[in-house]
């Protein structure tokens, strides 16, 4: 008690001293006897190794070692070492497997990204083959210059306020108003998606607008190609599309005089495409949504994604076999059946457009085709005024209405050869809008006779006046749009022979 030595401490010291003097089996037997622990067993050994005079076991608690270690006969340090030998290799293998899997996934993602970038670059290269250089300067017929620029996606996004300035929507995509840092204001047409067909239309429109310049064609200001994005930048038309003014609610109706002038403007644009382009072009998608109006309501034709040139660059627009494309209600039924495109397909669409401007009804409305719907009124003279847009009431000229409806009937003949040319349409429009100049007929110094020769190109098949032999009863004197002035008096006039006769059921002019 003086040294504070307990019985338990003394017992532990005694067991340790005894165990250090004997072999392992004897130590277990001694522990069993000394501590009196029931259930302890030793590893099976031969009788020869067991001392004859081993004491019997007596119950006593175990303190120095755990029963499991004594039963298994494994020293403490060997158990701990075996555990480490199992854990370390397992962790190493797991880490290695995870690292290999991550490496495989990383390599796959990198290869896929590279493939996407290569595909995008290939598309951009294919597209850029037809794009004129951004710094090239194009000239208008009136001598003004226009920079044809390539815009970046970043500046386009900024100019459209993160594409929050939508001003129109169509099958191709959305149109936004954009104002760039240098003050340039344009209309940006953003394609919905880049497909093979969409890419072709995109390239075709840039190629055409880069070389087509006319006061009644929307001018191209630039383009943007970046990854899978495609944009076209046009001159901004403050009054939007003709479709909006005819069909959108809460819009002031266009006056009758404005509608006649728009009809003349569109006809001038078609005359340029059919007679003065080299080679001649068919627009193939004349409709109200593709007629845009500037701040003075001057009309300009837009969207040349479906335009098609004449066969082999011929001076005349010869029939071209092509896939049928266009807008239902405006499409030439003969073209739909034969798949043979001519400039008379544009003439049919123009006739539908004229009827749409008169009636303010859509090309297809209430499940009815506009041309077919109008026949009931056209065959009854007293009912003709009922065709006019009710919003303008009686504010129209009845004689002009009769002339316009006669042109509509002529343009929408089932057969293309029975339809007029754009030159003939223009003459009738000028006569009805300005009768003073209807008798002012003369030939231009470079005027040419014949239906296809009258294109104003001296380099291709020009005919001189003294070489022409014709019957005056077979020719019509038609106005040309070669002048940049909008006044009728300054226009030159060309001759066109072999014109088709008016259909017998036309309204009397």
Judgement on whether residues 251 and 396 belong to the same structural domain of the protein: yes
Is position 285 annotated as part of the catalytic site? yes
* Torsion 172-178-180-186 (CA) sign: positive
Judgement on whether residues 332 and 304 belong to the same structural domain of the protein: yes
Burial 446-476 (b: 16+ CB within 10 A, else e): ebbbbebbbbbbeeeeeeeeeeeeeeeeebb
Residues 203, 207: Cα–Cα separation, whole Å: 6
504 found inside a domain: no
Q: Is the peptide bond before 279 cis (omega within 30 degrees of 0)?
A: yes
SS3 398: helix
Task: Give helix 7-21 / helix 24-35 axis angle, nearest 10°.
Answer: 160
Active-site residue (options: 201, 265, 285, 346): 285
Instruction: Pick 308 or 296 by higher pLDDT.
Output: 296
Express each pLDDT in 40-75 by its tens digit. 454 454 444 455 455 544 444 444 454 444 444 545
Judgement on whether residues 270 and 190 belong to the same structural domain of the protein: no
Q: Is the pLDDT of residue 405 over 90?
A: yes
423 found inside a domain: yes
pLDDT band at 91; cut points 50, 70, 90: confident
Task: Quote the tokens at residue 283.
Answer: 């627009």
SS3 172: coil
- Domain end call among 46, 74, 102: 74
Task: Quote the tokens at residue 396.
Answer: 């129209």
Instruction: Pick 176 or 469 by higher pLDDT.
Output: 176
- Would you tell me how many other CB atoms lie within 10 Å of the CB of residue 222? 21
Q: What is the DSSP string of 180-215?
A: -TTS-EEEEEEES---HHHHHHHHHHHHHHTT---T
**Mean pLDDT across the stretch 394-407?**
94
Domain count along the chain: 3
- Domain end call among 74, 92, 125: 74
Task: Quote the tokens at residue 298.
Answer: 């001057």
Identify the residue whose tokens are 């004197």.
477
Return the H-helix or E-strand segment holding 348. helix 343-359
Structural domain containing residue 30? 7-74
The pTM of the full predicted model, rounded to 2 decimals, is 0.63
């Amino acid at each position: 008690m003086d040294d504070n030595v307990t019985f338990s401490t003394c017992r532990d010291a005694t067991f340790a001293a005894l165990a250090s003097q004997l072999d392992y089996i004897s130590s277990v037997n001694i522990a069993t006897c000394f501590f009196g622990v029931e259930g302890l067993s030793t590893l099976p050994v031969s009788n020869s190794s067991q001392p004859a005079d081993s004491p019997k076991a007596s119950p006593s608690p175990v303190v120095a070692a755990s029963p499991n270690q004594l039963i298994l006969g494994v020293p403490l340090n060997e158990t701990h070492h075996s555990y480490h030998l199992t854990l370390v290799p397992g962790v190493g293998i797991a880490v290695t497997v995870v690292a290999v899997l991550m490496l495989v996934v990383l390599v796959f993602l990198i290869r896929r990204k590279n493939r996407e970038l290569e595909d995008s670059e290939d598309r951009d290269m294919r597209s850029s083959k037809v794009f004129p250089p951004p710094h090239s300067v194009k000239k208008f017929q009136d001598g003004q210059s226009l920079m044809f620029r390539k815009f970046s996606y970043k500046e386009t996004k900024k100019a459209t306020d993160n594409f929050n300035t939508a001003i129109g929507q169509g099958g191709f995509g959305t149109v936004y108003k954009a104002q760039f840092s240098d003050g340039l204001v344009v209309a940006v047409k953003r394609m919905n998606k880049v497909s093979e067909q969409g890419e072709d239309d995109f390239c075709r429109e840039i190629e055409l607008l880069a070389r087509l310049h006319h006061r009644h064609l929307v001018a191209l200001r630039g383009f943007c190609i970046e990854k899978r994005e495609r944009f076209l930048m046009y001159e901004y038309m403050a009054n939007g599309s003709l479709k909006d003014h005819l069909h959108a609610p809460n819009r002031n109706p266009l006056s009758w005089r404005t509608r006649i002038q728009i009809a003349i403007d569109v006809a001038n644009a078609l005359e340029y495409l059919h007679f003065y382009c080299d080679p001649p072009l068919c627009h193939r998608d004349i409709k109200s949504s593709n007629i845009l109006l500037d701040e003075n309501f001057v009309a300009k034709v837009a969207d040349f994604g479906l335009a098609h040139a004449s066969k082999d660059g011929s001076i005349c627009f010869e029939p071209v076999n092509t896939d049928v494309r266009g807008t239902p209600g405006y499409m030439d039924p003969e073209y739909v059946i034969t798949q043979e495109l001519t400039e008379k397909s544009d003439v049919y669409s123009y006739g539908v457009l004229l009827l749409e401007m008169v009636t303010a009804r859509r090309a297809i409305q209430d499940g009815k085709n506009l041309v077919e719907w109008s026949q009931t009124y056209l065959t009854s003279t007293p009912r003709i005024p009922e065709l006019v847009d009710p919003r303008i009431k009686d504010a129209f000229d009845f004689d002009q209405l009769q002339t316009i409806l006669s042109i509509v009937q002529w343009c929408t003949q089932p057969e293309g050869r029975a339809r007029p040319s754009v030159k003939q349409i223009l003459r009738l429009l000028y006569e009805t809008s300005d009768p003073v100049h209807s008798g002012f007929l003369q030939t231009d110094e470079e005027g040419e006779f014949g239906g296809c020769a009258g294109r104003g190109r001296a380099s291709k098949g020009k005919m001189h006046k003294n070489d022409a032999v014709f019957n005056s009863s077979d020719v019509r004197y038609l106005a040309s749009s070669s002048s940049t002035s909008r006044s009728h008096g300054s226009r030159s006039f060309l001759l066109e022979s072999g014109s088709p006769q008016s259909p017998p059921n036309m309204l009397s002019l």
